[in-house]
């Protein structure tokens, strides 16, 4: 075989090998059709619904307060916190992630009451974890109550799109029946509230947070790839924010959205919010089969006895 033929063959083989290492958003996914829950709730002005939580100089409100950018640089990350606390509700944001290499970067949209209950707080998390040269951004969902991160119940997914190219919707539905995590209205995960796990189901009013921060110690491959500030600043954009829940009134003896005192004020107590439809169940099954690559329920080295909801 001639030398040029050998080189051509090697080049072809190299291209073929590289072609197999494709991002999940380049794979030929057919996304299921789902009801757009986000259309059921109004958008709120970000600059009126939130306060700057940290890194104030890295927060910018744009488009008359309808959009916010959060930046991470060598000096600080940044974050917003809702001005109200909520007990149950639907919480959503359109987010566009930083472009370029982003190992160690964490962009989060979540609910927490750690400021008020530092030793037994609740949390419902959407954390989007940065990538290295060869791997995609990852979305991690987590739920815990009355405890710390060590009691978390994480699940991780790849995307079926490039989350840096345009805005995509990230949503949390939380009520007395279940907590549902959705991406572009596709349910990715349902955490059901039942009598078997009342102590681990978030039950105290929480604030809503939007943040970007340095997760070098754990975010990308367990901390193997830290943030490279050569590529800073890392900027995440938030828009189309929806905060529809029962606003917690600390002076009221019973929350308006509690199980003890159900109220018409609860925006997520209707039949379309208390149970997933067949269409939504099918879409969630698709997401979990195609995109989920980690679930705490399959992590036997971590749990000697599996949590009860895993059975």
pLDDT digits (tens, 9 = 90+) for 128-169: 999 987 778 999 999 988 876 666 799 999 999 999 999 999
* Token reading at 201: 């189901």
CA distance 131 to 127: 13
Contact 174, 123 (CB under 8 A): no
If you count DSSP H runs as helices and E runs as strands, how many of each does the chain have, helices first? 4, 15
Closest alpha carbon to 107 in 128, 77, 130: 128
Q: Which of 127, 154, 155, 309 is catalytic?
A: 127
CA distance 162 to 97: 9
> How far is CA 248 from each of CA 11, 147, 185, 269, rounded to the nearest angstrom?
63, 21, 26, 16
Q: Quote the pLDDT of residue 25.
A: 59
- Under CATH, what is the fold of the domain 32-246+256-310? Jelly Rolls (2.60.120)
Residue 254 has pLDDT above 80, yes or no: no
pTM beyond 0.85, yes or no: yes
Active-site residue, 123 included:
yes
* Structural Rg of the chain based on CA atoms: 21
Contact 129, 216 (CB under 8 A): no
Contact 190, 276 (CB under 8 A): yes
Per-residue pLDDT band for 112 (boundaries 50, 70, 90) equals very high
Q: What average pLDDT score do residues 53-67 get?
A: 98
Contact 55, 67 (CB under 8 A): no
% of the chain with per-residue pLDDT over 70: 83
Contact 142, 152 (CB under 8 A): yes
Active-site residue, 190 included:
no
Instruction: Find where tokens 């259309």 sit.
Output: 39
CA distance 219 to 95: 19
Q: What average pLDDT score do residues 46-57 get?
A: 98
**Half-sphere exposure (CA, 13 Å, Cβ side) for 89?**
26
């Amino acid at each position: 075989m001639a030398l040029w033929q050998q080189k051509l063959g090697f080049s072809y083989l190299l291209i073929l090998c590289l072609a197999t290492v494709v991002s999940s958003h380049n794979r030929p996914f057919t996304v299921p059709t789902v009801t757009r829950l986000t259309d059921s709730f109004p958008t709120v002005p970000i600059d009126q619904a939130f306060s700057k939580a940290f890194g104030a100089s890295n927060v910018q409100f744009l488009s008359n307060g309808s959009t916010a950018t959060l930046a991470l640089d060598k000096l600080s990350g940044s974050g917003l916190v809702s001005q109200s606390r909520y007990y149950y509700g639907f919480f959503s944001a359109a987010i566009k992630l930083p472009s370029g290499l982003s190992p160690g970067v964490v962009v989060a949209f979540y609910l927490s009451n750690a400021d008020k209950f530092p030793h037994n707080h609740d949390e419902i998390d959407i954390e989007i974890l940065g990538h290295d040269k060869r791997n995609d951004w990852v979305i991690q969902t987590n739920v815990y109550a009355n405890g710390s991160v060590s009691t978390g119940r994480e699940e991780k997914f790849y995307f079926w799109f490039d989350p840096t190219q345009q805005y995509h919707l990230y949503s949390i539905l939380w009520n007395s029946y279940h907590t549902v995590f959705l991406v572009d209205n596709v349910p990715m995960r349902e955490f059901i509230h039942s009598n078997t796990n009342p102590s681990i189901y978030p039950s105290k009013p929480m604030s809503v947070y939007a943040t970007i921060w340095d997760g070098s110690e754990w975010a990308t491959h367990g901390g193997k790839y830290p943030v490279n500030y050569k590529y800073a600043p890392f900027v995440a954009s938030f828009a189309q924010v929806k905060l529809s829940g029962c606003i917690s009134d600390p002076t009221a003896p019973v929350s308006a959205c509690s199980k003890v005192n159900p109220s018409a004020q609860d925006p997520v107590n209707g039949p379309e919010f208390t149970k997933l439809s067949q269409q939504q169940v099918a879409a969630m099954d698709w997401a979990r089969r195609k995109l989920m690559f980690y679930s705490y329920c399959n992590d036997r080295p971590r749990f000697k006895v599996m949590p009860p909801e895993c059975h």
